[in-house]
């Protein structure tokens, strides 16, 4: 791959301040080529998408008084970004666990939120205890196995359960309870949100797999095109950006769904000026603000 754009050569990979690598995974980005203090600089700094969107979500929850479940969800989302930054900076097994277990715990929080909604207090306690025991089992068994595939499969399974339960709630409960064209318009808008989120996850997953499958080729292409253009071929970085957006959209959709399930859809509105240049926010309506 020949580049006709101005560029600078890639520095050589090597050892750094955090060497040796002790993580059970090492991604396709070459180690310590840009700084001795950061093992994978693109994979590290693309987590700023998680951190900035988490801050936006936390601010929205505090400012607008959304349910505590979602404030905790966005704080956990922030923890994923920070843990992933630490992992890709150091490539240490300890920070790898921080990153991967933060993903599991965040999904468990959303699992509890969706399954405990409108349940009796005693049932909520049972669900909370069950989710806690599940999280501890995954933690201990994964630490014993040290096999990333186990983590990936558990994360995918939990995410799928939460997602399809949310879809079921939206379609079965909310659609049956609709009152007028307003509610149908809300459902259409929700499906638009889900479509954008699913497209982001799907594209991110595709790029993530291509990055793993064709790593030697991608590394060669990066060195041929040089910096900064080679950064665009860092597939795991794209995974961070795309899944960061998808997770933010999922949490925001869950907030809006909760208001609708509570019969409070007239009190809030989804503010999303553009699919491509902004992210959605659930804000109070002018009527709700004046009350």
Higher pLDDT, 6 or 199: 199
pLDDT band at 177 (very low <50, low <70, confident <90, very high): low
Residue 250 lies in a domain: yes
Residue 214 belongs to what domain range? 41-290
Dihedral through CA 59, CA 131, CA 87, CA 8, nearest 10? -60
pLDDT band at 100 (very low <50, low <70, confident <90, very high): very high
pLDDT tens digit string along 111-145? 999 999 989 999 999 999 999 999 999 999 999 99
pLDDT band at 275 (very low <50, low <70, confident <90, very high): confident
* Token pair recorded at residue 283: 């804000």
Q: What is the per-residue pLDDT for 4?
A: 72
pTM for this structure? 0.92
Angle formed at CA 246 by CA 248 and CA 85, multiple of 5 degrees: 75
Q: What is the per-residue pLDDT for 178?
A: 62
Residue 19 lies in a domain: no
Domain count, the chain: 1
Residue 16 lies in a domain: no
**66 annotated binding-site participant:** no
Element (H, E) at 282: strand 281-284
CA atoms lying within 13 Å on the CB side of residue 229 = 16
Residue 4 lies in a domain: no
Indicate the DSSP class of residue 229.
G
Question: 171: which residues sit within 8 A by CB, 6+ positions away?
Answer: none
**29 annotated binding-site participant:** yes
Element (H, E) at 271: strand 268-271
**221 annotated binding-site participant:** no
* Token pair recorded at residue 66: 């959304």
The share of the chain scoring above pLDDT 90, in percent, equals 83
Q: How far apart are CA 4 and CA 11, in angstroms?
A: 19
The share of the chain scoring above pLDDT 70, in percent, equals 96
What CATH number should be reported for the domain holding residue 81?
1.20.1070
**40 annotated binding-site participant:** yes
Residue 17 lies in a domain: no
Is 287's pLDDT higher than 60?
Answer: no
pLDDT band at 179 (very low <50, low <70, confident <90, very high): low
Residue 257 lies in a domain: yes
Is 6's pLDDT higher than 70?
Answer: yes
Q: What is the per-residue pLDDT for 251?
A: 95
Q: What is the per-residue pLDDT for 289?
A: 56
* Other CB atoms within 10 A of residue 171 CB: 13
Residue written as token pair 């060669």: 220
Question: 182: which residues sit within 8 A by CB, 6+ positions away?
Answer: 265
Q: How far apart are CA 156 and CA 216, in angstroms?
A: 27
Residue 244 lies in a domain: yes
Residue 7 lies in a domain: no
């Amino acid at each position: 791959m020949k580049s006709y754009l101005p560029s600078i050569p890639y520095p050589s990979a090597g050892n750094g301040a955090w060497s040796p690598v002790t993580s059970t995974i090492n991604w396709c980005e070459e180690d310590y080529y840009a700084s001795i203090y950061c093992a994978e600089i693109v994979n590290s700094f693309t987590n700023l998408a998680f951190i900035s969107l988490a801050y936006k979500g936390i601010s929205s929850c505090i400012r607008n008084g959304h349910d505590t479940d979602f404030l905790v969800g966005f704080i956990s989302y922030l923890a994923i970004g920070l843990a992933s930054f630490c992992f890709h900076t150091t490539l240490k097994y300890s920070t790898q666990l921080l990153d991967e277990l933060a993903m599991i715990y965040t999904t468990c929080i959303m699992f509890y939120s969706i399954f405990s909604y409108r349940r009796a207090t005693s049932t909520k306690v049972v669900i909370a205890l069950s989710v806690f025991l599940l999280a501890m089992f995954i933690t201990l068994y994964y630490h014993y196995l040290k096999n990333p595939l186990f983590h990936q499969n558990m994360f995918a399974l939990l995410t799928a359960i939460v997602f399809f339960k949310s879809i079921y709630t939206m379609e079965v409960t909310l659609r049956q309870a609709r009152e007028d064209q307003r509610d149908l318009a809300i459902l259409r808008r929700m499906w638009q949100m889900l479509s954008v989120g699913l497209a982001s996850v799907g594209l991110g997953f595709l790029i993530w797999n291509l990055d793993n499958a064709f790593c030697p080729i991608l590394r060669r292409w990066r060195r041929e095109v040089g910096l900064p253009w080679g950064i665009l071929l860092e597939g795991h970085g794209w995974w961070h950006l795309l899944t960061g957006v998808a997770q933010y959209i999922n949490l925001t959709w869950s907030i809006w769904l909760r208001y609708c399930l509570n019969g409070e859809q007239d009190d809030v509105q989804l503010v999303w000026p553009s699919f491509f240049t902004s992210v959605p926010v659930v804000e109070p309506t002018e009527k709700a603000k004046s009350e």
